[in-house]
Chains A and B, each alone.
Chain A
């Protein structure tokens, strides 16, 4: 059979790369944006599995090859889940901001304490 159109593949690559890049930022809002972009990316990849442009999977309106409904259903579920979780992440970001007056993801204190402990060790 055939491969999916390469345009969509490029779109997926860009979405994933950008999403990952945003995810790796210190600013929480950008992390949230990253999750949103990655959500789109995942949905596009589900679309990709349907290898050709076809008609909507509505039995009444059309005759001819219909697009694959299952990835669509899964993408729909995924969209909604991403939406729910994103709102939570936003609430969390708000909370971080309430506490810290900035929206950066702070490093773990205890980890840094352990890291600091080791320093005299090394110099000795």
Chain B
């Protein structure tokens, strides 16, 4: 059990160290990276299997009991997100390797792999952290790796983008640290479960201040309006694989942190009005931004912001059904966003850019590419029977089940957002995929077909296909997924299982 919980972040760290040592041997290095992630995937699958029934697994680092030592906790929510994230990480890794084989990328593989593994460790640690300061450390690992990744192949635009990204992230980190100081000041502890217990005796108003502060802290990283501006200015500029993984995971980790803090720590305090207002703003502002973009990557980034709003909406509704909806939405969105960005990467390979201003007829250039784009895009828009539909239905059900005018307003915003997402996506489709292909696009395709890097390109396409299949599989497995989601949501709403698992179990 101890190993099961530690492997997701320890093994990638060791892998990163090895990869850094082996940076001269590129094949070995890639092998190490893939093997590491494969281990993580297997491990998180086991974790999910072990927690799917609502069990909360814990492990005390250094064998020091809970409030003193750091607890590593896997509840169904964390395990589910870990499992999905690790698969996405593995697929993107393979995609990147394909790109490197083909020599299709300017990123430096020698440092890419180690840093990517560090990112993996950071993401996993953030999901597993049962300690507020450890969560901060997990965030920092993830963020530092992301700073390093976003500057891969630094052009002027990327340096500019990473400047914005880094400074905003640092601001949020500083505020996070401040938040930890505040929490420690109020409770004298940093263990999440312990904080949850001790906050019970704290003055309600102060608790509320903390709840809102942490919403801001994690809200910056999860890009909720009005703190989202940095995202569309930075993500799309990075190289494909990196925007893919950023879009898929980083914001979701922050959303996870919001969920965890607002349910476990501040579950007694009702900030749902704030959450719902924020959700409405996020959905609408994000999708409006997406509608007017000419660059596919930017468009998808705005759509990403917009759909974070759905998750915040579920959190604002604040019922078991709603939280289950959020969990399903998280899973769906991780896969779909990664998928769309991978496809955008393929588009860049084919067309040379991702601007709709000079893109026509991609269906003709590559029908497979069209299919790869179509399915996740439909899923994003919530078109059935894909995963987005399942997620949306879960949220809508929860919203209707709770009622109230604000919830209905948010529901209406959700409907409008879904429609506008559809419009944005079909704008891409009608302009980029349909029509007579531009002559230079056809030329570029011919060049690609003749080129020596076709193998790498095919590998990338296969990996994108794998991701598409994964997305479809999520929809097919909606039954078991929703079961786990409901289990996770029950755990979140209740919290006592978590607290008991961390604090209640005496020294083993």
Residues of A at under 8 Å CB distance from B? 16, 19, 23, 28, 31, 35, 38-39, 41-42, 45-46, 48-49, 70-71, 74, 77-78, 81, 84-85, 88-89, 92-93, 95-96, 99-100, 105-106, 108-111, 114, 117
Neighbouring A residues of B133 by C-beta, 8 Å: 74, 77
In the assembled complex, B181 has its CB within 8 A of some CB on chain A: yes
Q: Is the beta-carbon distance between B170 and A85 smaller than 8 angstroms? A: yes
Partner of B174, one of A31, A35, A89, A110: A35
Say whether B166 faces chain A, with CB atoms less than 8 Å apart.
yes
Complex alpha-carbon distance, A78 and B298, angstroms: 34
7 A-B pairs with C-beta separation under 8 A: A23-B167, A45-B182, A46-B181, A46-B184, A49-B185, A92-B151, A110-B295
Of the 9-residue stretches B37-45, B155-163, B463-471, which lies at the interface with chain A? B155-163
Q: Would you call B180 an interface residue if the criterion is a C-beta within 8 Å of the partner chain's C-beta atoms?
A: yes
Q: Please tell me if the beta carbons of B163 and A105 are within 8 angstroms of each other in the complex.
A: yes
Q: Which residue of B lies closest to A89 (CB)?
A: B166
Which chain A residue shows the least CB distance to B140? Answer: A81
Chain A-chain B contacts (Cβ-Cβ < 8 Å), number: 93
Which chain B residues border A23 with CB–CB below 8 Å? 167, 171
The bracket for how many chain B residues form the interface is 35 or more
Chain B residues contacting A71 (CB-CB under 8 Å) are: 181, 184
In the complex, B261 has a CB within 8 A of chain A = no
B374 nearest CB across to chain A (Å): 25
User: Binding site of A, secondary structure by majority: helix, strand, loop or mixed?
Assistant: helix
15 new A-B contacts, CB < 8 A, other than A92-B163, A110-B233, are A31-B167, A42-B177, A48-B185, A49-B188, A74-B133, A77-B137, A81-B140, A85-B140, A85-B166, A88-B144, A96-B159, A99-B159, A105-B164, A108-B161, A114-B292
**Contact between chains at A108 and B160 (CB < 8 Å):** yes
Known: A85-B144, A89-B170. A110 touches B298 (CB 8 A): yes
Of the listed residues A70, A77, A78, A105, the one surrounded by the most CB atoms of chain B closer than 10 A to its CB is: A78
**Interchain CA distance A28-B133 in the complex, whole Å:** 29
Contacts of B170 in A (CB 8 A): 35, 85, 89
Q: Assess whether A28 is in contact with B295, with CB atoms less than 8 Å apart.
A: no
* Chain B residues with a Cβ under 8 A of chain A: 133, 137, 140, 144, 147-148, 151, 154, 156-157, 159-164, 166-167, 170-171, 173-174, 177-178, 180-182, 184-185, 188, 190, 232-233, 292-293, 295, 298
Chain B CB within 10 Å, residue with most, of A92, A99, A106: A92
* Cα–Cα, bound, A117→B181 (Å): 45
Give the 7 A-B CB pairs with smallest separation, nearest first.
A45-B181, A49-B185, A42-B177, A108-B233, A38-B174, A99-B156, A46-B181
- Contact in complex: B293, A114 (CB < 8 Å): yes
A37 CB to closest chain B CB, in angstroms?
10
- Specify which of A70, A84, A89, A111 is in contact with B233 (CB 8 Å cutoff): A111
Considering the chains assembled together, what is the distance between the CA atoms of A45 and B181 in angstroms? 6
Q: How far is the CA of A110 from the CA of B185 in the complex (A)?
A: 44
